[in-house]
Each structure stands twice: as structure tokens, then as C-alpha cells.
Structure 1
Amino acid sequence: MKATKISLSRRAAVLLAACAMATGVSANTYPERAIKLVVPFPAGGAADVAARVFALELGTQLGQSVVIDNRPGATGNIGAEAVARATDGGYTLLFGNDFLATNQAMFKEMRYDTLRDFVPVSKVASTAVILAVHPSVPARDIRELLALSKTKSLNYATPGFGSGPHLFGQTLALDAGIDMKDVPYKGSAPATADAVGGQVDMIVSTMGPMIPYFKSGKLRPLAVASAKRSEQLPEVPTLREAGLNAQPYETWYGVLAPAATPKPVLDRLREASAKVMRNPEVAARLRSAGLEPGLVTPEEFGAEIRTDTARWARVVRDAKINRE
């Protein structure tokens, strides 16, 4: 009987080794070539900045280049779908943010399922979402903005239709009774550019790309959506401090792999990513861009994605937001 157990154990080991050889992957050989990190937004935005900071150090840890591939469009769906369908054993990864949660609620037909088709590798950062106005808008705080909205219709830029900032802006408008029309863009960079140029009255988006314009006076911050004030902008109140009973909201960023990624590869990526996130230089570069390092486990990151997916589904349903 003992001999039979040993034989079965050896057969199982041989079978696992054969499977690894068939896929051409193992913890010892991966990666053998450059890795592609798909960023489903334009260059220059918060997601792109965070991805480049992370990719540079990840490449150092893995001993191979990690190449950024910007694929904007459809509120992140174009890039996400491409990664979900990738079958190259961990050489194509996704740098996502909370669009992965909001899109499940906003689009009637999706060609991928966030919770089924991806596995979390590493949370990289989070950032406060902020409400800001162009200097030509005569409102210096939320109370003045509320008063102004009673006399004229205001519009606000967001990083995209169905994005977290878009949905948050919608719920904010409903809760506060502000007449605000959303103007979606293909990423935070073009949204910020038009807000600075005065093509829109306001912007609800991630804080990082706007900090230089706050300092130069080209945009005026009114409130942050996070639970506490930002260290980068300590003088700007939270929405609750400004008098609005809004549920706190931040945008997160992180790396995900296709669900079919072999476990040895996934383990290798997670191990290397953990070393990246423990690097104080990486943390410093993220903070200089207005981002807070995401120091959580892959399991905790996955739980956050599931929680956000459920949250935005409730928001879309309760606010009766039209789905596409």
C-alpha cells in the first residue's frame, strides 16, 4: 500500500512537471523576454504615470523589460479586453483602475468579466478624487458652487463615461441638488487639459495630474472626495467638511493578469511586485505624483475590487443612471 502511495505521488509530480513544460513556464525561467503592461488610457494621466513608475522597478526585479502599451478607448474596455484574451502565459498584463468595477455596472454588454477573467497581482497606488473649477467660475467653495448652480447649468469633465469620477459626480449632483452635466473624456489627461483651457466649468477626476495647475492658479480645488484631507493639498477640505454628506471615494490602480496565467508565473509576478512596493524610492516617486502607495496583499486587493464592483452596481441601480 505504501509503495502504491509513493507511485501515485511520483505520477502526480511528473504530470505537474509535464504541464509546466507544455506551457513553457516555470518559476525559474519566467520571464524569458519582455513583458507588456497594457495601460488602457492615454499617456500623461495618473494611470500612465503610476504604471511607468511601477514598470521600471518591476523590470529591474524580474531582469526583463516591462514595456508600457497605451490602449485608450471605451472607458478602458479596449485594453482590458485585449489582456483578458491574452494566452501568452503571463507576458501580457493589465494596469487597471476602478473602471474594472464601474464598467461592469455601466455597460449592458461586456466582452470580459472583471471578477472571472482577471486575477490580482498587485495594488500599486490610490489617489483622491477632487472637484475643481476653472478660475472663471465664481465659486471658491462648495457653498458658493451650490448657489451658482441655482442660477446656471454647469458642466464637468471626467476621465470617461462610466468611470468612477463620472459616477461619483452623478451621485454628488443628485445628493447635493447641483445641476451638473457630465462631459466624458478618454482619460484624465485630456479631461484636465480642457478644464485648464476653460472648455468646461469643472472637473471631477484624480488629483495627481491637476496639482501643478492648482499651484499655478489655472484650476481652483474645492473639495476632495476622500475620507481625510490629502497630504499634498492639506488646505483643501473633504466633501463632508464642506457640508456634503458624500460617501468617501478614491481611485485605485493596480496590476492584474489574465485568469489563465499559470500559477508559477503568477507567484513570480506577485513576489517581484511585493519587492517593488517595498522600495522606498518607488513610494517617493508615487507620492510626488499625488499618489499613495498601495501596500496591501493580492488577496486584499482582490477584495477591494469585489467591494467596488458591488458598490457601483448599487449606485447605477439606485440613481437610475442609463447604462450603455
Structure 2
Amino acid sequence: MKRLLSAAMAAALVFSLAGCQKQTPVSSGSSGSQPGSGSTVQNPPDTSGQDSDWRPDGQIELVVPFGAGGSSDLSARALVPYLQEELGCSIYVNNMSGAGGLTGTSYALNKKADGYTLVWNSTRCVSPEVYQSDPPYTTQDLQAIAELTETFSVIAVSKDSPFDTVEDLVQYAKDNSGLKYAHTGRGYKNHLTALTLDSLYELGMTEVPYSGDADACTAVLRGDVSVGFISLTTAFTQYEAGNMKILAVCNGTRNDKIPDIPTLGETEYPVEDIVSYIGLFCAKDTPAEIVESLSRAVEKCMEAPGLHQDLEAIGQSPTYRNYEDFGALVDKVNGIVGPIWKDAGLLE
């Protein structure tokens, strides 16, 4: 196990940042669900030398397979005004939650692969085959278009905690098996980081899952758990108020909001960043010229500071990757997460 995790964590994932400019309003709605197809990200064939400047002549439906108000929904709605302006069309945001994102994604994959139905997706529900043995689709059924953001997570404790560093936490956990930690969803970045730290350094910690960051943060502040693996967005408010200490950032780089806080990789107990991405996808059979045009359109949006600022305001780290690089990132994350998940006996 230790050797397996060490090899997985050796794959460092590097980020690039960017930004955009805002105009038209966002339409939204919801609809019924349909069963779906699936996801491992393809790359379109080479169309160099061909005219690939596709532009829609009708409304695009952007399926967000989560409820309104969450990080996925907010990041999609941040992009939509810019993308409408760039493409010259209206974009309808369709929130279709259910089954942890599988319902909405399946619905989008069952629609015609013509660029008029896109899906806004995040790490776990892009690749359900990594987490369950009989998924409704796999990564192979999705085509990556563009990555927009990545999420910053932290290791946080209450202000009264005896832990001031990751080293303090790890040493205590080694000597006191069963230390309780909070996370916000099995199979997501926070849980996977804690699981890897626990397994790699044989800490014997006990997980306490919560339905969201707010509940996990409250549990840390109340002392229900000793430590929380939670989003920086949620922890920062309590950190700024002096109610919480942040021991480390669980990303490959430090965060400008807390520049003095080390990354987990900089401590004596390094764990490589398990990237939590959010971005734009479509069905695998979508024509190459459409995929390339949409990818370039998102890139143009990310060139202006407005979108950059809008994303940072909701706690996201703007990170553009084109369809090729995004597809490679998806595969790389799957290669890291899959063995960890399976070895922990969590495959459903």
C-alpha cells in the first residue's frame, strides 16, 4: 500500500491561471431526468488546416448536474455571461441534480452530440467507474472541452487545538490511534487527501463524513472532531476571525490569501495534490471542430480579469486547460485516485 501510494503521489499536477469580461444575463431552469451513457475522455482527431471556427445558430443547454448555489453551479454561472458574449448565443443553465451528479450527466450524454448540449462537471462524476463497479457511464463517454477552475482545500483545526503544524497533528495521531477527522464527501479531494495521509503514514485516523463544508467546519469549531479537511473558502472566514488555525494547504501551490501557510507537500509528511477540477464537457461523438471552437472560446473568456475575479470571489482558483490538456489531467487524476480508492476497499 505504501509503495502504491508513493508512486501515485509522485505525479505532480501543475496549474496555470487566467481571467475575462461580462455582459449578458444568465437564464436558468430545471427539467426531468433521463438515463444516460458515460465517460473516459477522448481527444478529437487532428483538424489542422481545416476551418474549425464553429459558431452555434441556436441556444445551448448547459447541464449542471448539481443543485443551484453550490460551487459547480456558481462557477458555471460565472462563465456563462462571458461565453454567451464570445459565442454570440444564449446559454440555458439547467440544474439537474441527483445521484451525486450522475443523473444530469447521463441526461446530457443521451442528447445529440452536436454542441448544443454541454455538461458542467467535476472530478468524481466525470469518472464514476473509478468509484463504483457498475456505473451508468464511464469517462470514455465524455469529451473534455476546457477546464475552468480548481479547488483549494486546507487542513484546519480550532483555535484551541494543541496542533500548530502538520507535524504536531501527525505525531499525535501516530501515538493516539482513532483521531477523528472531518471531510465533506467520500471520493472528493478532501476525503482522498485525508485518506492518503492516513494510509501513507499509518496514522489510524477515523473519518467522520459531513454533507458539506459548513457542517464540517462547525464540527471542528465545536470539537466534535480534532481536524477538518475542508475548502479554503469555508475555513478562511473562521481563520480570519481568529477562530480557526490552518495547518496546511492541500494543493500544489500556496494560496495568495494565506501565503505564509505551507502546502502539505512542503511539510515533513508530504502528500501530492489530488486535483479537484471543474470544467466543460460534451458527449464523446461531438465533432472535432465544435470541441476545438468551444475550447478556444473558453480560453478567450479567461483572458480578461473580470471572470478571474468572479471565480476568486466564490473561492475558486481560475485554471484554464484546453481540451487536450484537460483530457490528460482527467486521466492522470484517475490514475492516482483509482488505486487509492480500490486499495482502501471503497469500490462500490
Settle same-fold status: TM greater than 0.5.
yes
Give the Cα separation in 2 of the matches to 1:48 and 1:196: 27
Per-residue deviation, residues 161-206 of structure 1 (Å, max 9, x unmatched): 2223222211111123333322334555654565566654433233
How far does residue 61 in structure 1 lie from its aligned partner after superposition?
2.0
Quickly say closer, same or farther: Cα 1:49–1:212, change in 2 above 3 A. Answer: farther
Q: 1:117 aligned to 2:144?
A: no
**TM-score, reference length from structure 2:** 0.73
Of Structure 1 and Structure 2, the greater helix share is in: 1
Give the Cα separation in 2 of the matches to 1:63 and 1:187: 36
SS in structure 2 at match of 1:294: strand
State the match for 2:201 in structure 1: 176
Matched residue type, 1:224? V
Quickly say closer, same or farther: Cα 1:245–1:289, change in 2 above 3 A. Answer: same
Give the Cα separation in 1 of the matches to 2:220 and 2:57: 42
Give the Cα separation in 2 of the matches to 1:203 and 1:240: 18
Per-residue deviation, residues 214-254 of structure 1 (Å, max 9, x unmatched): 21234321111223322221121112333103223332221
How far does residue 43 in structure 1 lie from its aligned partner after superposition?
4.2
2:291 touches 2:323 (CA, 8 Å); kept in 1? no
Per-residue deviation, residues 124-147 of structure 1 (Å, max 9, x unmatched): 012333211244543222133234
Picking from 260, 272, 275, the partner of 2:300 is: 275
Give the Cα separation in 2 of the matches to 1:221 and 1:155: 17
Q: 1:108 aligned to 2:96?
A: no
How far does residue 255 in structure 1 lie from its aligned partner after superposition?
0.8
User: After alignment, is 178-187 or 305-314 more displaced?
Assistant: 178-187
Per-residue deviation, residues 36-81 of structure 1 (Å, max 9, x unmatched): 23143x4444333322211231122233343444444544333332
Give the Cα separation in 1 of the matches to 2:103 and 2:223: 29
Per-residue deviation, residues 82-135 of structure 1 (Å, max 9, x unmatched): 322233733332222221466432211111111x11111111012333211244
Picking from 215, 223, 233, the partner of 2:258 is: 233
State the match for 2:335 in structure 1: 310
State the match for 1:255 in structure 2: 280
Quickly say closer, same or farther: Cα 1:110–1:97, change in 2 above 3 A. Answer: same
2:296 touches 2:322 (CA, 8 Å); kept in 1? no
Size of the aligned set, in residue pairs, is 295
Matched residue type, 1:138? P
**TM-score, reference length from structure 1:** 0.78
Q: 1:291 aligned to 2:310?
A: no
Matched residue type, 1:32? G
1:222 touches 1:237 (CA, 8 Å); kept in 2? yes
Matched residue type, 1:223? A
How far does residue 304 in structure 1 lie from its aligned partner after superposition?
0.7
Picking from 41, 61, 64, the partner of 1:35 is: 61
SS in structure 1 at match of 2:152: strand
How far does residue 34 in structure 1 lie from its aligned partner after superposition?
4.7
1:101 touches 1:312 (CA, 8 Å); kept in 2? no
State the match for 2:166 in structure 1: 142
1:135 touches 1:219 (CA, 8 Å); kept in 2? yes
How far does residue 299 in structure 1 lie from its aligned partner after superposition?
0.6
1:130 touches 1:207 (CA, 8 Å); kept in 2? yes
Give the Cα separation in 2 of the matches to 1:93 and 1:196: 40
Alignment map for 1:47-62 (pairs within 5 Å): 47-62=72-87
Q: 1:207 aligned to 2:241?
A: no
State the match for 1:13 in structure 2: none
State the match for 1:320 in structure 2: 344
2:295 touches 2:322 (CA, 8 Å); kept in 1? no
How far does residue 303 in structure 1 lie from its aligned partner after superposition?
0.7
- Greater relative CO (CA pairs within 8 A, separation 6+): 2
Q: 1:216 aligned to 2:241?
A: yes
2:64 touches 2:97 (CA, 8 Å); kept in 1? no
Matched residue type, 1:175? L
RMSD of Structure 2 on Structure 1 (CA):
2.9
Give the Cα separation in 2 of the matches to 1:203 and 1:313: 23
2:194 touches 2:229 (CA, 8 Å); kept in 1? yes
Matched residue type, 2:54? A
Q: Which has the larger radius of gyration?
A: 1
SS in structure 2 at match of 1:240: helix
SS in structure 1 at match of 2:285: coil
